Each structure stands twice: as C-alpha cells, then as structure tokens.
Structure 1
Amino acid sequence: MFDPRISLITLGVADVARSTAFYESLGWTRSAASNPAITFIGLKGIVLALFSRASLAEDAGVEDAGRAPDAFPGMTLAHNLASEAEVDAAYAFALSKGARAVKPPQKVFWGGYSGYFADPDGYLWELAFNPTAPLDGNGHMTLPG
C-alpha cells in the first residue's frame, strides 16, 4: 500500500540554469544538494526538482517526444493563497519575473478565484484562492472531511 503523499515533483526542462534562475527570481531557494545537472528547491513539505527533459526521459526509460513551450503539458501545479488579493499580487509578481500570462485571475465556476501563468518551459501554475479549502497554519491546503 502507498502512503498518500508526494515527496518530489521533477519538471523536465530545456535549460536547467534558465529555469533555476526563473524560480530563484520568485524568491525560492536552491538547495546545496543541487548541481549543474539538477536543481532541488525545498518547498513546504515537498521538493521541486528541475532536470533536463532529455535526461529525465532517459532516466524513466521513455522516448522524449518533445513539446513546444506553449503546448498544454497535460498537468498543472497549484499554489493556493489566503485571499483574492494575494492571488492578484502573486500573479503580478510572477509576470514581473518573466512568467508568461495564460489566464488572468478571475472568479471561477467552482466558487473560488484563480489564474494561470506559465514558467519558461510552459509548465502551468495555477494561483488560487479556494474558500472551501482554507490554508492551515503552515500554509497547507485543507480538504473537507
């Protein structure tokens, strides 16, 4: 049986140094465990890794079919915030650091408020305020029982 958790998310990127610079510009800190081939960034309870797309495919034993940076990656990463104003501020900050605007923050069908930006490799980040799943004291999203 699997313990229900995710320990590490690895993004296959075109240029590790460029992607590292982008995430550092957001104020995120590269771990000393990083090296030129891979960057590790400690987040709250999870690690984000940046690894070359070709190397990641090789490690997994699959062919890298490639994809354009503006093509849908088939997944999103989410950063939940405590208010609509925080979503707006985080979105503006990400854009000021070179993120590509995808969908400006707005009220959404599920009752919250969210918007999307893309990192340099086209990975989509949702910035969201969800009034039905508030953040706990550690900034972690809580789900109803």
Structure 2
Amino acid sequence: METDGVVLSRAVADAGRSLAFYRNGLGMKEAKLMFGIACLELPGLTLFLAGPDDFARNTGLTARAGVSATAGGRSDGVLSCAIRSTEEVDRLLKTAQAAGGTASEPRVMDHASGRKQYIGTVTDPDGYVWQLVCNIKDPGEGA
C-alpha cells in the first residue's frame, strides 16, 4: 500500500475543548478548528477530533466519545509519540495535566530492542491515551 499519509478520526465530546487541550496541554500550536472539527497535523499523521454529530456525518459511524471505566482511559488504542528528551516528557506531562488531562508518573522500561525508554502517559479530557516515549541511554538522558 502506498499512501500520502495517515488520517485518524476520533469522536470527542467537544471539539473546541479538545483543541484547547492539545494546543495548551501538549503544545500543538498549529492545531486548528475546521468546520467544527479539531485538526492536528503530526509528522505522517493527521488527527481529526470531531464532536458526535460531525463524527457521524463524516464517517457514517456512531460516535462513542468518553472515558472507559475499566482502564482509566479508552481501551480502543493508544497513540505513542517519540519525544526528544526526558525533560520534554516531564514538561509535557505537567502542561497536559494543567490543561485538563490526566498524567501518570513517568517510568523507565526496557524495550525489546535492548535500549531503555522513558515513558509517561497522558489521558486527554475524552479519555484518549497518549504515551510520550523517549529512547534513552541512561535515565535522564535523551536519545
């Protein structure tokens, strides 16, 4: 398959609230609202966050915005984002929490490749989960 990029559409309770969270909480300043849908351009990925009516109109699917009670976040997937330094992971966790998200304490984990990763998890106001991942040589050292 050859593509010009990947687009992910997710249902959210309020596209404006989501836009504010991603701009203020995760620093995605280029995010914008288009036709009532929050649009976030990431390297290789366009993310559309649409309220229930816009989501249904554009996808033909029933919207299911909201938090899953079982996992503290939606259980239908996790977006992972490569971050350049452990300090940036820490900063993003703090700003995301201040903007209405829920953040975990970061942790160092062994990756299957043998390197270590510094990982923090953020849940946005609709319960969608993001992992902020920094590949490290030593704890506290960026990739």
Q: Same fold (TM over 0.5)?
A: yes
Whichever structure has more strand as a proportion of its residues is 2
| SS of match in other structure, 2:106 | strand
TM-score (norm 1): 0.71
Q: Measure, in 2, the Cα distance between the counterparts of 1:95 and 1:67.
A: 17
Deviates more, 1:112-121 or 1:38-47: 38-47
Aligned length: 128
Structure 2 unpaired stretches of 5+ = 138-143
1:123 aligns with 2:124: no
- TM-score scaled by length of structure 2: 0.72
Q: Give the aligned partner of residue 75 of structure 1.
A: 77
**What is the distance in 2 between the residues matched to 1:71 and 1:90?**
18
In 1, distance between residues paired with 2:64 and 2:18?
Answer: 20
- 1:12-91 to structure 2, matched below 5 A, reads 12-26=11-25, 27-28=27-28, 29-31=30-32, 34-35=34-35, 37-64=36-63, 67-68=66-67, 70-91=72-93
* Aligned alpha-carbon RMSD (Å): 2.6
Other-structure match for 2:141:
none
How far the C-alpha of 1:45 sits from its partner, in A, is 3.5
Aligned in 2, Cα 1:40/1:106: closer, same or farther, shift over 3 Å? Answer: same
Deviations 1:19-54 (A, max 9, x none): 1111121332234x712x212222233322111234
Runs of 4+ in structure 1 off by over 3 angstroms are: 57-71
Amino acid at match of 1:121: D
Instruction: Tell me if 1:92 matches 2:97.
Output: no
